[in-house]
Chains A and B, each alone.
Chain A
């Protein structure tokens, strides 16, 4: 599509016909406002302009855009944030509203209340599904190790992972004779670490969900049953 193919009588035409100066805000060195064919489809005289202003407040409040990857790419490999990149999100929001609304309507059973809390009640305590793996982990070894040391270690490793990746990764790559240390999606070592981690969490959760009658012999603590 050539420059001439773009409409010059659209809603932003009032502005577009004027000479447009390049915009440089607060030292921003990336893409700048350019000729009319690159202007927003909703101009200041458009009825939806207040909506556009509302949207723009979000990036404006988020501060200056740094030098982005797109700034160094040819225009045909990029697109403007609005409307090209923005439009899926309202659709996703509507779809999610419908999905969550349907879940709320049809899966009421999971939300039903049990009797009011009574400390004297006899019940098998079980956390919600997202903490089941921790609950099950406790049964697999020394309580102190499983409840304090392992979770703390996982939290710290997760937080500092980028540094481990940049410091240890290239050394491992050199030792293996790799030319680069690829991203986890292309790196069998780091890729397996993530999949293995999620797999362990999923396995422990399923084990707990299998119930107290599902027991597996465990070398450290004997027979370990679900929750």
Chain B
């Protein structure tokens, strides 16, 4: 019996799918979408660069979470020791942590550059107002990710920087409300192990879930509206 060529097998699979669903048509239609020539300008790539950096963050974040221990009891705390372990002992751990660290910094810069482009070309105007709002929310979530991620190494710099930030957030009047917000964020009267646990949870579960959801909405809007006109 002759062994079928892989190409024939692939064609048979595609034909089989085509008989049940307009598979080839859907693929062709999706990829054949026409794009205006002006969209080839370099400044239309900034959004794609933000997307790439978010993907970097998600991938390296998962790898870091394999070794990170969100425990701040004792001195040195297991959280601190686990970051040291990632940095010194884990194979290419220094690189993964470095990519996570630098991509986070670049991400904030790229989001601002992308927003500047959107603003400058008036791409927030009707019918794209909602997409501007979604993008702005993404900026705040990214800043939230940066804030919560900063505490995780649990060194002196991270500790005191987060303490100051929480103090600022807790300055909301009236004092009872400020104290309540501070208590919610800290998980206690001072920045301590419960704070790290909360920041860790928000940093790896809550905010990434929100950012993925917002990215999906952002892309759906872009797909619906297309690329905006140049200036």
Contact = CB atoms under 8 A, between A and B. Distances in A.
Interface stretch (B49-57, B62-70, B204-212): B49-57
Interface string A70-89: 11010101111110111011
A66 B116 CA distance: 25
A44 B24 contact: yes
A123 B164 contact: no
A125 to B, nearest CB: 4
A121 interface: yes
Contacts of A58: 30
Interface size class of B (residues with CB under 8 A): 35 or more
Nearest to B150: A128
A194 B99 contact: no
B173 to A, nearest CB: 6
A171 interface: no
Contacts of B39: 85
Contacts of A101: 95, 98-99
Interface string B79-121: 0110110010000001101110111011010001000100111
B146 interface: yes
B160 A123 contact: yes
A31 B83 CA distance: 52
Given A92-B45, A104-B101, A123-B160, A183 B36 contact: no
Interface string B25-64: 1111111111111011000010011001100100000000
Contacts of A77: 36-37
Contact of A143 (B10, B35, B171, B228): B171
A59 B34 contact: no
B222 to A, nearest CB: 8
Contacts of B6: 47
A15 B24 contact: yes
Contact of B121 (A40, A89, A93, A183): A183
Contacts of A31: 32-34
A40 B22 CA distance: 16
B48 A113 contact: no
A81 B97 contact: no
Given A69-B227, A115-B155, A116-B77, 10 more contacts: A23-B25, A23-B29, A32-B29, A52-B27, A70-B34, A84-B35, A85-B35, A116-B155, A158-B136, A159-B137
22 contacts: A23-B22, A23-B25, A32-B29, A40-B27, A49-B10, A56-B28, A56-B31, A58-B30, A59-B223, A68-B34, A68-B226, A86-B31, A92-B45, A96-B49, A100-B98, A116-B77, A130-B108, A144-B173, A162-B126, A166-B125, A194-B120, A198-B112
